[in-house]
Structure 1
Amino acid sequence: MWWARDVRRATVFTGAGISTDSGVPDYRGPQGIWTKDPSLADLFTYDNFRADAEVRLRFWQVFAGRQGEVEPNAAHRALAELEASGKALRVITQNVDGLHQKAGSTPRKVVELHGSLATATCLSCGERTPAAEAIARLPEEPVCACGGVLKPSVVMFGEYLDQDVLSLARNIAAASELFLAVGSSLQVEPAASLCALAVENGAGLVIVNRDPTPYDDLATALVREPIGTALPRICEALAP
């Protein structure tokens, strides 16, 4: 791992693949949510969610069914331990499961590009409600106290990323010496383009993923071994 030597500032960009060992299914893999049931992708479309009460209720039912007590795995813990060792480390994640923070990563050092499942947001008044309170109202559709539609505080297809969050992620990527892309298909833009931005600003790009990605040609190294073993080994090599 020559590319890990003398790295002062590292950024880790994580996708669904880092959480599969915690029992959180990914989306596009062989056992992915959309692979098993392509119709579920329609539930993640903002226009469909906003327009159709049946879509909203089904979304909440699927969402509630995934809210078991999941715990961070070895990969999440390795990142938290690397940060605790004193390494200048930032995490940018496409995930909405909160497992980086649960593992011990400093919340302000984790950039959640696609939001969080911890809360729901009213599409009328903007008020945020703990997601658990919304789920408790099932089988009725969860609604805000104002009567407005409640939506999990995540970015759906057809929505723009929060520009302040995206700008922060871009600044972090541009300042990196090493950019690790872990467990992401790198097919969702503009998030995936952070890889190119990091490389354009002189960072080494290492992709840790089971399958090929659109950014493999830019990579300094490709790691195909399981994330649960690869990332702890990489973090050990990066430790001060």
Structure 2
Amino acid sequence: MSVGSGVARVIEGADRVMVLTGAGVSCAAGIPDFRSPGGMYASLRPELLTASESQKQLMREDPVYVVEKKMFLANQFPYHEVRRPFILGTQERRWKPTLFHRFVERLDKRGKLLRVVTQNIDGLEFLTQTDPERIVPCHGTIARAACEACGAEMLFDDYCAAVRANIKDIYGVDPEAPAVSTNIRCGACGKPTVKPTTVLFGASLPDAFFASLRDDLPRADLLIVAGTSLVVSPANLVAAHAPCRRVLVNNEPVGEHLGLDFSRGGDDIFLEGDAEDTFGRLLHHLGWLQDVPPDDLPPHSRKIRDNIILSL
């Protein structure tokens, strides 16, 4: 289906909208890429990290070990050294919410948003005026910090100050960074296990995600799925068990193995194309695009917004 008034009418007719998101909705913000060719995992250089030779070998064999729970509890430095620019860039608000994030914000402002479940750790939803209680970052967020061992929270600005002072820069862009990494310790338990509240590989998803599956999903009357391949479990259970119509925004149809039906006569809707352009056009058809100030958008999103307005 093309992006037009038909889908806008579906959204207008819904009262309790759930949203499930993946990495594709944050690409326009310029968020660092982790999984694609040239991303963090593909370009990881274990020889630069503060780690034992056996730990470096594990990361050579599988770069995911840099964000694995057992690795972090044994040695915090690979995680912190790889993610240092992302952590500090988040504090500096280097990345802005996209048209997609503003679409979710508009849903909330109009009383339609039941919950947004995001697989992204960038925290961009929290930089909008969307009610934070309606946001479930099922893989955690880079924008908050806590101890992985005892759970005690640390003020994010204090944590970032410690990252800036204690963690070396393996990318060679910060001349003020220390030459050697030293521990960031928890003020409550004293262990060197403070980190952003991202979910490490091998750890459980937050209780809020399972509560949303149990309590929110049965009440939803529309599910919007955007920028995700729907292969990561258990997040994809949101799409699998939704008792309502589902709208998928993606470059290709996915989710048929979960029961999504885009065939002629099927109940679900597939909108093919770039997420940012698609949600920009949906904002237009819903009459919400003018509510999004261009200065609040990253450059690519601003260009899409301006092009849509100029084409009217």
Alignment-derived partner of residue 269 in structure 2 = 221
Are residues 28 and 223 of structure 1, via their aligned partners in 2, closer, same or farther at CA, if it must alter by over 3 Å?
farther
Alignment-derived partner of residue 231 in structure 1 = 279
RMSD of aligned residue pairs (Cα, Å): 2.5
User: Which range moved further: 41-50 or 120-129?
Assistant: 120-129
Secondary structure of the residue that 1:195 maps to in structure 2? helix
The answer as to whether partners of 1:173 and 1:194 remain within 8 angstroms in 2 is: yes
Paired AA for residue 204 in structure 2: Y
The answer as to whether partners of 1:195 and 1:215 remain within 8 angstroms in 2 is: no
Matched, 1:210 2:258: no
User: Which range moved further: 136-145 or 176-185?
Assistant: 136-145
User: Which range moved further: 146-155 or 12-21?
Assistant: 146-155
Give the C-alpha shift of residue 237 in structure 1. Answer: 4.9
User: Which range moved further: 189-198 or 29-38?
Assistant: 29-38
Give the C-alpha shift of residue 116 in structure 1. Answer: 1.8
Alignment-derived partner of residue 137 in structure 2 = 112
Normalising to structure 1: TM-score of the pair? Answer: 0.85
User: Which range moved further: 36-45 or 78-87?
Assistant: 36-45
Alignment-derived partner of residue 47 in structure 1 = 70
Give the C-alpha shift of residue 239 in structure 1. Answer: 7.1
The answer as to whether partners of 2:15 and 2:111 remain within 8 angstroms in 1 is: no
Identity %: 29
Alignment of 1:147-158 (within 5 A): 147-148=190-191, 149-158=193-202
Paired AA for residue 15 in structure 1: G
Matched, 1:61 2:112: no
Secondary structure of the residue that 1:11 maps to in structure 2? strand
Paired AA for residue 15 in structure 2: R
Alignment of 1:86-235 (within 5 A): 86-129=111-154, 130=156, 131-136=159-164, 137-138=166-167, 139-145=181-187, 146-148=189-191, 149-198=193-242, 201=243, 203-215=244-256, 218-219=260-261, 220-235=268-283
Gaps of 5+ in 1: none
Deviation per residue, 1:106-155 (Å, 9 max, x gap): 11111121122123322343211124144133232322134212232111
The answer as to whether partners of 1:134 and 1:142 remain within 8 angstroms in 2 is: yes
Looking at structure 1, the residues matched to 219 and 162 of structure 2 have their Cα atoms a distance apart, in angstroms, of 39
The answer as to whether partners of 1:17 and 1:26 remain within 8 angstroms in 2 is: no
Normalising to structure 2: TM-score of the pair? Answer: 0.67
Q: Which structure: larger Rg?
A: 2
Looking at structure 2, the residues matched to 172 and 32 of structure 1 have their Cα atoms a distance apart, in angstroms, of 34
Looking at structure 2, the residues matched to 177 and 47 of structure 1 have their Cα atoms a distance apart, in angstroms, of 40
Looking at structure 2, the residues matched to 159 and 209 of structure 1 have their Cα atoms a distance apart, in angstroms, of 28
Gaps of 5+ in 2: 45-59, 168-180, 262-267, 289-312
Give the aligned length: 234
Secondary structure of the residue that 1:218 maps to in structure 2? coil
Q: Greater share of strand residues, 1 or 2?
A: 1
User: Which range moved further: 93-102 or 134-143?
Assistant: 134-143
The answer as to whether partners of 1:114 and 1:154 remain within 8 angstroms in 2 is: yes
Are residues 234 and 90 of structure 1, via their aligned partners in 2, closer, same or farther at CA, if it must alter by over 3 Å?
farther
Alignment-derived partner of residue 72 in structure 1 = 97
Secondary structure of the residue that 2:115 maps to in structure 1? strand
Looking at structure 2, the residues matched to 132 and 44 of structure 1 have their Cα atoms a distance apart, in angstroms, of 18
Paired AA for residue 65 in structure 1: P
Are residues 224 and 218 of structure 1, via their aligned partners in 2, closer, same or farther at CA, if it must alter by over 3 Å?
same
Looking at structure 2, the residues matched to 101 and 15 of structure 1 have their Cα atoms a distance apart, in angstroms, of 16
